[in-house]
Amino acid sequence: MKRFLKYTFLMLLFLVISGFIWWKVSDYQVYENRPQKPMSEYIDLEADFQKLFQLAKDGETIILPEGYFKFSKALILDGKRNVTLKGAGMDKTVLSFREQTEGAEGIRVANCKNVTLEGFTIQDAIGDNIKAIYTDTLTFRSIKTEWTDVPNTELGAYGIYPVICKNVLIENCVALRASDSGLYIGQSENIVIRNNKALENVCGINVENSENVDMYNNEAFNNTSGMTVLDIPGLTRYCKNVKVHHNKIYGNNLFNFAPAGNIAASNIPGTGLLLWAAKETQVYDNDFSDQAFPIFAISFLTSYKIGQENEYVPIAASEQARMEVSIKEETSLREDAINGEFERDKKYRPYTENVYIGKNKYSFGSLRKKIQSKDGFLFTLGMSFKDAQLWFDGVNNPDGSTLCIDKNEAIAIADMDFMNEYKNAAIKDGAEYTCDAKPTLTNK
């Protein structure tokens, strides 16, 4: 008997140790270790660069030389017209803000028209590597934005961040290691996002409260979540007419390193595309590979666990707090939008609305990836470890037109029934949301 008990104990111990080793050495860490270049190898020509930006004339092309350069404060273009900033090429012209002491951004573009940024790498700004605001006709081409340290909460929030802009093109860019989003487009219109790579961020590509957006031929991989389309209250515009197609969204299983209290801290590892109260959004011809939760569709009424244990904060409140912090300096210009409250925004519709899911490719990854986060474990357990292409909070638009799943696309829906505390959670075949054709998007 004693021998049997000893044998049983040793077997259990072996299983526990094996499970622990498997948990630690399996494919959880998906970022690469990239050595930082010592600052002693960066050249200090800050005074010359500041003059180039400050004295830029309308119609001028500013040539940024090849080399590694360091800065202590932001480079600012304000009120310029028809200006191009052109480096010698990605990884050839490198601008480092690792020792920044003034300002929140690396490069700031404000109140401009027809500006192109092309052919350079920008690193390690305190807040956002490149921020553009109140600018019409803006191109980001062949830009790399990165934080050079390993993923952690101290890294900056956004790599490329146009907000309240129009006629924006982001192409052939690379975004790495933002503690929120590599590419973040906010409150803007007429946007094309194509042929970019976003990796090792909390969210790869994020489109917030924007309209007339075409997002295609991008790769989002090795992030916590690949892409997001969201619509939140109290801002200058709402989500409308967004197309997400022909993208490769795969292997987004990185641990979440967003600061506590930031809404990005609720992103669940294993998520391909998060549709957060998205409106008039079409999702088709994408490749969702190695994703526990390929598409996540939730309303703004759902509350998420944010930061502290057992403390549930309404999404609207937590997102509003983030906005106040991230663009605090624009408070005087956008006071009503920044301070707008969910209850006061009478025009805001908190539901998923007119979201079309067409033909996409899916694969779900290993069990390890599904349960690596607490929420992921609970969701997977609640659905009896079954796979589903679409994960849905179960909150339907009372006016109808919540989801439209193409009749030729047979997918499973994990209806989690969040608002009723998972009471009626179940895997459904999606028949109630089937539609005959892709809905027509508005162009207002």
pLDDT per position in the chain (444 positions), as tens? 555 555 555 566 555 555 555 554 455 567 888 888 899 999 999 999 999 999 999 999 999 999 999 999 999 999 999 999 999 999 999 999 999 999 889 999 999 999 999 999 999 999 999 999 999 999 999 999 999 999 999 999 999 999 999 999 999 999 999 999 999 999 999 999 999 999 999 999 999 999 999 999 999 999 999 999 999 888 889 999 999 999 999 999 999 999 987 788 888 999 999 999 999 999 999 999 999 999 999 998 875 333 333 333 333 333 333 343 343 333 322 323 323 445 677 888 889 999 999 999 999 987 777 888 777 877 877 788 889 999 999 999 988 889 999 988 889 999 988 877 778 888 998 888 998 767 666 544
Q: What is the pLDDT of residue 399?
A: 85
Give how many domains the chain has, as a whole number: 1
209, 165, 205: which is closest to 182 by C-alpha?
205
**Tokens found for residue 216:** 């295609």
Q: What is the Cα–Cα distance from 319 to 311, expressed in whole angstroms?
A: 15
Give the pairing type, strands 225-230 and 287-289. unpaired
Q: What is the pLDDT of residue 12?
A: 64
In a domain, 3, yes or no: no
CB 157 within 8 A of CB 186: no
In a domain, 10, yes or no: no
Q: Which residues contact 110 (CB under 8 A, 6 or more apart)?
A: 76, 77, 78, 79, 132, 133, 134, 135
405, 369, 213, 376: which is closest to 291 by C-alpha?
369
Q: What is the pLDDT of residue 377?
A: 79
Q: What is the pLDDT of residue 341?
A: 44
Q: What is the Cα–Cα distance from 174 to 297, expressed in whole angstroms?
A: 26
Amino acid at 117: L
Q: What is the pLDDT of residue 319?
A: 39
Long-range CB contacts (within 8 A, 24+) of 167-171 = 167/136, 167/137, 167/138, 168/138, 168/139, 168/140, 168/192, 169/138, 169/139, 169/140, 169/141, 169/194, 170/139, 170/140, 170/194, 170/196, 171/139, 171/140, 171/141, 171/142, 171/195, 171/196
Phi, psi torsion values for 117, nearest 5 degrees: -115, 125
Q: What is the pLDDT of residue 422?
A: 78
Q: What is the pLDDT of residue 215?
A: 98
Q: What is the Cα–Cα distance from 359 to 44, expressed in whole angstroms?
A: 52
Domain that holds residue 160: 147-435
195, 158, 199: which is closest to 34 by C-alpha?
199
Q: What is the Cα–Cα distance from 298 to 419, expressed in whole angstroms?
A: 11
Q: Which residues contact 210 (CB under 8 A, 6 or more apart)?
A: 185, 186, 187, 188, 189, 191, 237, 239, 242
CB neighbour class for 422 (10 Å; exposed up to 12, middle 13-18, buried from 19): middle
CB 331 within 8 A of CB 402: no
In a domain, 351, yes or no: yes
In a domain, 31, yes or no: no
Q: What is the Cα–Cα distance from 243 to 6, expressed in whole angstroms?
A: 61
In a domain, 47, yes or no: no
In a domain, 260, yes or no: yes
In a domain, 276, yes or no: yes
In a domain, 206, yes or no: yes
Q: What is the pLDDT of residue 419?
A: 79
The alpha carbon of residue 304 and the mean position of all alpha carbons in its chain are separated, in whole angstroms, by: 17
